[in-house]
Structure 1
Amino acid sequence: MLITGALVTPVAGNLGDRHGGKRVMLRLMAVVSAGGLISALAPNLPVLLLGQVLEGAMVGAMPLSFILVRKHLPAGESQVAIGVVSGLFVGGGMLGTLMAGPIAEQLSRHWMFAIPTLAIVVATLFVHRVMPDDPPARSDAKIDWPGLALLSGILLTLMSGLAMAPEAGSRPLAIGALIVLLAVLVAGWISVERRSPSPMVDLHLLAKPGMWSSYVITFAVCMGTAVSMYLVPQLFAASGDGYGFGAGSTDIGRYLLPGTVAGAISGPLGGLAARRFGPTAVVGAGIGVMAATLLVMAFVHTEVWHLVVGKALVALASGVCITAMVVRTAASVDHTDTGTATGLVLVTRVIGFAAGVQVSGAVLTAGTRPGTADPAGSAFVTGFVIAGAVTALSMLLVPAMRKGVKK
């Protein structure tokens, strides 16, 4: 699902820009519904995985939602609406996580997929009947198939490289080959996009400091967030000498709930703050709070409430920051580029999370002594410090967000 979401999101955003957000949204939701149906009826794991691949396309609904929001709402309201959409995605994920276990236990795993699929079908009909139509902006533009194929190859290679990163020491040739392949694909994609009359991504737009800095900041913030998401549950579960709490899965879920709620409300809060104070100021404040919290967590984590509060603050600051980043990116481009620009933010977010998880795993693995079950306490300190440092360094790019973008 993660890989499918990374592949589909920029494509869905680009097609929405050209052919209309509602039109592409309905087709995307039909694909997701088909994936849910396949998952619900799957007799074995391979068929279930096929259904999950199709369901992963749902991430592409986010840039399409942003397109529709910008087309149908005034600028001030659209900033808040973008935050609401982001918050609903997080809240929906939280609700699905809470519902999955009881449904599977009381009914079956088949209903665990069937019930959400029925909800998606109803939502699709609702969008078809209620959502106003948005006229295509560039309906005559041809799809940049070479650019699409190369971008998909870049994302697949990058995600594969991140997945293999923990084994880099034992598989140097495979990692080296992936790096070379990634470089070739990037060079080919840039060459194709420069010559295409209707490119998937406008490279001139990406070259502006206000755009590329946004993507780099998004990567750093999401990487720092992912490190905390990975380390905090591990620290709750650990039972080392002088650190850890030996908590079970039920207790860990309870400890993490405030952070999940904070992440859900961060979207609307980020939209409101962006409208009131401006997206750039909100991004800077979010980075500051998040970096400070991560660094404090590195050295203050002797009580459960230290981690509960820290995790909630990181989730809130990260969500506010990313929402403001999406608002800034959407407002910095023409309406005809909304889906493409915001889709790339979301793809960068996925890559940042994947990188953060791999870094966390590598740090804990390196800090685990042979013959022991838990990493050393210093490994957790190192992980939090790395996350805080990467997040803090992204503050240096905040001033660049103001440069070279549409006012």
Structure 2
Amino acid sequence: MSSAVRTEDLRPGVLLLPGLCFVVMTVAVLQTMVIPIVGTIGMQLEVSPTAAGWVITANLLAAVVATPVIGRLADLHGKRPVLIGVLLLVLAGSLVAASTHSLALLIFGRVLQGVSYALFPIALAILRDEMPHRKLVGSMAILSGTLGVGGGFGLVLTGLLTADGADYHRVFWLTSVFVLVALVIAWFAVPARARSGLGSVDWWGAVLLAIALVLLFLALTQGREWGWGSVTTLACSIIGAITLALWWIFENKTPAPLVAPRLLTHGPLLATNIATLFVGIGMFVNFLASSYFVQTPRELAGYGFSATVLGASVVYLLPGAVVGVIAATCSGAFIRRFGARPVLITSGGIGVFGFVFFVFFHTATWQVVAATSIVSVFVSLAFAAIPNLLMAEVSASDTGVANSVNSIVRTVGTSIASALLTTMLATYTIAGTSIPRETVYTFAFVAGAIACTIVALAATAIRVQPSIPVTVTEVARDSGVAQVRGNP
């Protein structure tokens, strides 16, 4: 945004917010729909579980590589053309995945789908450009809350489509429909704007960051299969960490870095990203642990509900998704009334209560539904508060890349939760079976409560200025921190 442009003068179209919400819902659905069917993919393609697991790993690797670069391209060349271009790539990937019977092509399709992670930060940046200030807080809250609950809906849809071992291709055909509808909506709902960004993409920084993140994510996602102490895992971890350090040194010496260092070290932004990391952990613990828990055969394990994938999705996960939608809708009013920081702190407390409730009460269906619903409220409120805290600290010209970094941090959180949980589920089993011990789930829910506690503590470290009407002003490129002044 240029100097002295008053956001109050903007007149967004009626389709803008619902259209972007659908785009973000599509992102969330793409992220979670494949998780429950990895085993089904392996069986139907007649490949090993390890090979089938690459449909998730490849997707995550593409996401962490592409997201910061795409965010920077959106800041430089305009949000709408980049948004449309990303949706076209994701549509192509969905069609490839839906139509192929080759694992290699399926993985290629998932790589193309991985760029969808960049859609959420771009959508937030569009809202910042297009929404008047009085509507921005509520709009960002609703959009962000949609991301939190969309993952739950993705799991539910998977359960409906793949009940009784149905063809997994159904899932990718549905994602193709989602992306096509999102593309049409974005084409008509998002207005075209003249290019306003200056500079270029720091491609050398992008390459170094990509290498570092790929190696670190390979260690995180494949460590259980390779062995956490194996030479391959340790090599990926060490080389990735060294490359990340080199990237940091390079970025500090580059006049126009891909990610301004202050976007990572500025106190409020650092605290916000820490909170995001643990929100991602809490969200995935809720999704995965509760889904696996209710599918555990009670007659063999002495716990669980012997639910099918369909039953787990509809009976146990759908209510939480619905509650999350309601919380997301209300979150904007809460943030306007109390501020984003108190809402984030409160959400952490709600999450702690939900997970602790799960630890002590999980023998009846209503107890599991109540616990997952409470945690869904935490996720929706946290996702609503975080972008508001983030955008209070960065310039409009850095919105895309700052939100992209935040999205990567969230992805790291979900990957950590997934890696640790799957490792523990496979390691600590009931003697003579492959069924996890009940204590594994207890530990997972305790870990979720700890994650929520850290979210609340990180939020207390964030210091925000009192909310006043603002005019966006020009920002020095090397600061990375927004400058605003009160309206006269």
Q: Is this a same-fold pair by TM over 0.5?
A: yes
> Which residue does the alignment assign to 2:12?
none
- 1:244 is paired with a residue whose SS is coil
Distance 1:19 1:375, change over 3 A: same
For the 8 Å contact 2:156–2:318, the answer to whether it is kept is no
> Which residue does the alignment assign to 1:149?
207
Q: CA deviation at 1:230?
A: 1.9
- Tell me, yes or no, if structure 1 residue 283 matches structure 2 residue 344: yes
Distance 1:146 1:361, change over 3 A: same
Distance 1:231 1:127, change over 3 A: closer
- 2:413 is paired with a residue whose SS is helix
Superimposed CA distance per residue, residues 235-291 of structure 1 (whole angstroms, 9 cap, x where no aligned partner): 212225543222232321222111222334443333332222111011000001101
TM-score after normalising by structure 1: 0.89
Cα distance in 2 between the residues matched to 1:329 and 1:66: 11
Quick one: percent identity of the two aligned structures?
Answer: 26
The equivalent position to 1:138 in structure 2, one of 187, 194, 197, is 197
Cα distance in 1 between the residues matched to 2:263 and 2:404: 14
Cα distance in 2 between the residues matched to 1:210 and 1:129: 36
Cα distance in 2 between the residues matched to 1:383 and 1:94: 18
For the 8 Å contact 2:153–2:321, the answer to whether it is kept is no
The equivalent position to 1:234 in structure 2, one of 292, 296, 303, is 292
Cα distance in 1 between the residues matched to 2:304 and 2:169: 37
- What does 1:31-42 align with in structure 2 at a 5 Å threshold? 31-42=89-100
Q: Which sits farther off after the overlay, 80-89 or 67-76?
A: 80-89
The equivalent position to 1:301 in structure 2, one of 338, 347, 362, is 362
> Which residue does the alignment assign to 1:220?
278
Distance 1:195 1:299, change over 3 A: same
For the 8 Å contact 2:152–2:317, the answer to whether it is kept is no
Q: CA deviation at 1:209?
A: 1.0
- Tell me, yes or no, if structure 1 residue 380 matches structure 2 residue 438: no
Cα distance in 1 between the residues matched to 2:271 and 2:461: 6
Cα distance in 1 between the residues matched to 2:160 and 2:447: 37
- Tell me, yes or no, if structure 1 residue 174 matches structure 2 residue 232: yes
The equivalent position to 1:351 in structure 2, one of 384, 390, 412, is 412
> Which residue does the alignment assign to 1:270?
331
Which structure has the highest helix share of the two? 1
Q: 2:398 is matched by which residue type in structure 1?
A: D
- Tell me, yes or no, if structure 1 residue 54 matches structure 2 residue 112: yes
The equivalent position to 2:311 in structure 1, one of 225, 240, 251, is 251
The equivalent position to 2:265 in structure 1, one of 207, 226, 232, is 207
For structure 1, the 5+ residue unaligned runs are none
* Superposed CA RMSD: 2.7
Superimposed CA distance per residue, residues 158-202 of structure 1 (whole angstroms, 9 cap, x where no aligned partner): 221111333575643222212211221111111111122211111
Q: CA deviation at 1:362?
A: 2.9
Q: 2:194 is matched by which residue type in structure 1?
A: P
For the 8 Å contact 1:280–1:398, the answer to whether it is kept is yes
Q: 1:278 is matched by which residue type in structure 2?
A: G
For structure 2, the 5+ residue unaligned runs are 1-58, 466-480
Cα distance in 1 between the residues matched to 2:240 and 2:460: 30
- 2:461 is paired with a residue whose SS is helix
Q: CA deviation at 1:94?
A: 5.6
Q: CA deviation at 1:371?
A: 1.3
- Tell me, yes or no, if structure 1 residue 163 matches structure 2 residue 221: yes
The equivalent position to 1:365 in structure 2, one of 423, 426, 444, is 426
For the 8 Å contact 2:69–2:201, the answer to whether it is kept is no
Distance 1:121 1:305, change over 3 A: closer
Cα distance in 1 between the residues matched to 2:67 and 2:401: 9
TM-score after normalising by structure 2: 0.76
Superimposed CA distance per residue, residues 316-340 of structure 1 (whole angstroms, 9 cap, x where no aligned partner): 2112112211221122211111111
